[in-house]
Amino acid sequence: MEPKGKIGVLISGRGSNMEALAVACKQGQIPARIAIVVSNVPAAAGLQRAVRLHLETAVVDHHESRTREEHDRKVAAVLDAHGCELICLAGYMRLLSAWFVQHYPNRIINIHPALLPSFPGLDAQKQAIEHGAKVSGVTVHFVDEQLDHGPIILQASVPVSDDDTEDTLAGRILAEEHRLYAEAVRLFFLERLKIEGRRVRILDAPGPA
């Protein structure tokens, strides 16, 4: 039987997190499926990846809208037409309008390659190295109206070594990203994430009936 839960994934680039989610859905780890992959960048490599994974894709080019909200309304129209219950940002390089965030209350999740609230924004791995951090990592969080700010669902740390470059650190973090994003989305669809203010409580799995 096909799982009921539907995910919309927003990408702008290579789409490796999108693929990790797709694989986790296919393997039954996540009780849901990716209903649509939307890119704001027509040439995003992740679109080809999605096609290879037999996922439906759409392009909503932000250059064709005059305002952020106009663009976001077009994206939401696609997501809603596909019945998406959860929106996963996976390397989506756009700030979201307040309208979009409010349209999907507590239903947008993002992944960020650092331990928030450290190193928000662009080039998080470079920021960690330049700051001399000894540890960095990955954060999966609900999205609110501020960038890289909403309630944290899961985090995992990775060591930063003296001879790390931005690329070596990014690679180490990426392996954790793929694992952690799938786990967070799994918990969402199992209804085990309870938001209490800024905190997300992970509810225990129900015991045997």
Residues annotated as catalytic are 112
Nearer Cβ to ligand GRF (4/91): 91
Nearer Cβ to ligand GRF (94/203): 94
CB count within 10 Å of CB 69 equals 15
112 touches ligand GRF by CB under 6 A: yes
Query: CA–CA distance from 140 to each of 69, 181, 200 (Å)?
Result: 24, 6, 11
Q: List the interface residues with ligand GRF, window 30-49 (CB under 6 A).
A: 46
The answer for 69, left when phi > 0, alpha when psi is -120 to 50, beta otherwise, is alpha
15 touches ligand GRF by CB under 6 A: yes
| Rounded Cα–Cα distance for residues 111 and 51 (Å) | 22
> E strand or H helix at 137, and its extent?
strand 135-142
Tell me the closest approach of the beta carbon of residue 90 to ligand GRF, in angstroms. Answer: 5
Binding mask 158-197 for ligand GRF (x = CB under 6 A): ----------------x--x--------------------
Q: Which stretch binds ligand GRF (CB under 6 A): 7-15, 80-88, 100-108, 191-199?
A: 7-15
Binding mask 73-102 for ligand GRF (x = CB under 6 A): -----------------xx-----------
Helix (H, G, I), strand (E, B) or coil at 10: strand
Which amino acid type is present at position 36?
A: I
| Rounded Cα–Cα distance for residues 30 and 190 (Å) | 8
Tell me the closest approach of the beta carbon of residue 196 to ligand GRF, in angstroms. Answer: 25
Nearer Cβ to ligand GRF (74/112): 112
128 contacts: CB under 8 Å, gap ≥ 6: 114, 118, 119, 136, 160, 169
